Structure 1
Amino acid sequence: MAIKAEPTFSLKDQLFNATSLSKLSDALDQTRLRYQRKKFEKEILDAFPNLELKARIDWMVTVLAGYLPDEFEAAIEILENALPSPLDPKKTDDDFGEFIWAVPGEYVARFGCTDLHLESSLDFLRKSTMRFTAENSIRPFLRRYPEETMRFIRRCAMDNNYHVRRLASEGIRPFLPWAVRANVEPKQIFEVLEILKHDNTRYVTRSVANTLNDLSKTDPQKVIQTLTDWQKQPSDEMTWVIKHALRTLIKQDHGGALSLLGYPTDPQFELSAVNASTLIFVGEHLSYQCTIKSSVSQRLRIALRVYYLKANGSHSAKVFSVKDTNTSAGETIKINKTVSFRAITTRAMYPGQHEVEIVVNGIARSKRSFQLCQPSQ
């Protein structure tokens, strides 16, 4: 029987509620729109209890459309006048904006993705992304008007505003969470990333790394070759980008990714004194100890891989970082790692046989089994 924690936090309620909606209403009040504010807000809020996060955005767009002019250009003029001031252009990160400002962009994505309104819609998204990212709103345009929208994306990549530059990368991510696939050709994505690779803001370079991480899931060799070329112009930020971009491949013990980050794929070491829990209860911690002796001077990435039992009897692996270190010949490293088996909302715990092993530079050793038991009542 699965053991899973009950949710104690609701992101949808934190992001979309009466308070956040009032900010949109306050802004609409400052435009020429004449509407019944109380009716508008009640119509939206009455439906919220039955809607998940993205469905709430969709519903707000539906209701908003009923109060805006039928003529699209007149509607987006009102929405543009309702937008708050742009986010601080002097910052370089951690200036995401408020989620309620996703609504104008999503309105444009739904009603402005047409031949007639393409130019004005893309212009609006450039402005709105300076308030809240239009990474989701741009995707219908990429799917329906790929050539025109990619020209827009390339202009965004060279924009003075870093929020607009980030849209160029984040908007074309192959596997952007919560979003439909943009279906942009990988070659075009790499071309945009070449423009952005030395951006002076972490907000943009993180997006570049995330996009490369997405691409690594379908074409790891191309990503590794690209980063190998980029590494020829070293900097602290480029080192960070490469490491962040390769995180999925590193967890998969990909030899090319390990080598690029300076880890030998044939590490020379001796493993001893392995000790792991053999029986734990849900809510307790798995305990794992061992000693690793490095035979030569080398860089080691040490991780613990836990194989969680699934409902169908198979196992799902999750990697936990333990230590990243440069070692000298003969150096001994003592490992003492614990992993929580407390039930959480994102992972159900299934009593039965689980497994754990130590992984050094992608080389797995000493897999051990342990029993996870249901706590006594």
Structure 2
Amino acid sequence: MASGFSLKDQLFNREKVRYLAGLFAAAEPGFDAEAFEAQVMAELPSLELKQRMTLIAEVLADHLPEALPAAAPVLLKALPPPLDPGRTDDDFGDFIFAPLGEYVAAKGVAAHPDLVMDRLQAWREAGAQDRKELDWMTSHALRGLVKAGHPRAMAMLGYDPELTLDALIAVPDQVRIGEALDFSCRLQGAAGAPVLVDYILHFQRPGGKASAKVFKLKQARITGGVLELGKKHKLKGDATTFKLVPGPHRIELMVNGKVRAGAEFELLPEG
């Protein structure tokens, strides 16, 4: 009986790994393509798709200069020639380049944010990668900066941090530990404007301090000039990694990296 289709084997296999190794060997004389291929293929067959991507990124780090500023020019030089701009087949490009985004993220975007964004922008301007694939790589590499609301990272992903809009968020006055915080929000702005909406919960901690955590809400467009969203956030009383403390709490609505609205609520002991 014939085996079924395997996406992981189509996207990440020996042929693809050898192709990537050849590009880096051509870009950097000291890059050992055979050793890179052997190191990757020793583990790759037993891994799932995302694990394969992580593996290639980790092995790549072993074979490139340790410092990201020194490795970045090699990454740029290793990219293939620009794709045909007249192509209309909606091809996603070669996914073997996806681990480059994983590599950049792992090397410490927080430590070198401008360098990373400069390099991603240079790749985009060079047209050396399929746009959809580069969009994915950019989103993956900048995910930490986006969560922190970094303005340039937001702009690179197509979200205007200075977008003019009105925002409201509504929450109940009180909610008990073990229940769900049922909140709703309303955005009013330019019709069709893309928005990345997150919410921040400021949790009460022992000793009176507060701890903020960012949660994803929605990627959308303000269709018709108005966008209404809602969510029920479960406030688990039995979580082992984060213990809830009764007391005053705050929720904030962050749109395209900027806090646009907020509200207070009282977290009551579990009933």
Say whether 1:355 aligns with 2:237: no
**Contact 1:169–1:192 (8 Å) recurs in 2:** no
SS of 2:178's partner is: coil
In structure 2, the CA distance between the partners of 1:93 and 1:350, relative to structure 1 (3 Å rule), is farther
Give the corresponding residue for 2:141: 245
**Contact 1:290–1:334 (8 Å) recurs in 2:** yes
Tell me the distance in 1 between the aligned counterparts of 2:240 and 2:77.
40
Say whether 1:340 aligns with 2:234: yes
In structure 2, the CA distance between the partners of 1:283 and 1:192, relative to structure 1 (3 Å rule), is farther
Tell me the distance in 2 between the aligned counterparts of 1:271 and 1:341.
24
Letter matched to residue 252 of structure 2: E
In structure 2, the CA distance between the partners of 1:172 and 1:314, relative to structure 1 (3 Å rule), is farther
Deviation at 1:285, TM superposition (A): 0.9
Listed one character per residue, the Cα deviations across residues 292-315 of structure 1 (whole Å, up to 9, x for unaligned) are: 111465221122111223345332
Give the corresponding residue for 1:201: 95
Tell me the distance in 2 between the aligned counterparts of 1:352 and 1:282.
11
Equivalent of 1:187 in 66, 69, 74? 69
In structure 2, the CA distance between the partners of 1:191 and 1:309, relative to structure 1 (3 Å rule), is farther
Tell me the distance in 1 between the aligned counterparts of 2:179 and 2:161.
34
Give the corresponding residue for 1:230: 123
Letter matched to residue 9 of structure 2: K
In structure 2, the CA distance between the partners of 1:295 and 1:184, relative to structure 1 (3 Å rule), is same
SS of 1:290's partner is: strand
TM-score, normalisation: structure 2:
0.69
Give the corresponding residue for 2:109: 216
Say whether 1:326 aligns with 2:215: no
Give the corresponding residue for 1:91: 10
Tell me the distance in 1 between the aligned counterparts of 2:173 and 2:38.
59
More strand by share: 2
Tell me the distance in 2 between the aligned counterparts of 1:188 and 1:169.
16
In structure 2, the CA distance between the partners of 1:280 and 1:192, relative to structure 1 (3 Å rule), is farther
Deviation at 1:91, TM superposition (A): 3.0
What number of residue pairs does the alignment pair up? 224
Equivalent of 1:298 in 193, 196, 202? 193
Give the corresponding residue for 1:278: 173
Say whether 1:316 aligns with 2:208: no
Deviation at 1:281, TM superposition (A): 1.6
Deviation at 1:224, TM superposition (A): 0.9
Tell me the distance in 2 between the aligned counterparts of 1:296 and 1:372.
36
TM-score, normalisation: structure 1:
0.51
**Contact 2:187–2:222 (8 Å) recurs in 1:** no
Give the corresponding residue for 1:256: 152
| Aligned sequence identity (%) | 21
**Contact 1:197–1:208 (8 Å) recurs in 2:** no
Unmatched 5+ stretches in structure 2 = 1-5, 14-34, 81-92
Deviation at 1:266, TM superposition (A): 0.8
Deviation at 1:188, TM superposition (A): 3.8
SS of 1:91's partner is: helix
**Contact 1:196–1:208 (8 Å) recurs in 2:** no
In structure 2, the CA distance between the partners of 1:312 and 1:326, relative to structure 1 (3 Å rule), is same
Tell me the distance in 1 between the aligned counterparts of 2:77 and 2:241.
37
Tell me the distance in 2 between the aligned counterparts of 1:356 and 1:320.
11
SS of 2:241's partner is: coil
Tell me the distance in 2 between the aligned counterparts of 1:324 and 1:88.
27
In structure 2, the CA distance between the partners of 1:332 and 1:167, relative to structure 1 (3 Å rule), is closer
Tell me the distance in 1 between the aligned counterparts of 2:133 and 2:229.
30
Deviation at 1:226, TM superposition (A): 1.0
Say whether 1:169 aligns with 2:57: yes
Tell me the distance in 2 between the aligned counterparts of 1:268 and 1:257.
18
Say whether 1:371 aligns with 2:249: no
Listed one character per residue, the Cα deviations across residues 338-360 of structure 1 (whole Å, up to 9, x for unaligned) are: 21111433332222222101111
Unmatched 5+ stretches in structure 1 = 1-86, 95-120, 134-161, 175-181
Deviation at 1:326, TM superposition (A): 2.8
Letter matched to residue 209 of structure 1: G
Give the corresponding residue for 1:46: none
Listed one character per residue, the Cα deviations across residues 226-245 of structure 1 (whole Å, up to 9, x for unaligned) are: 11112232421111111111
Bigger Rg, structure 1 or 2: 1
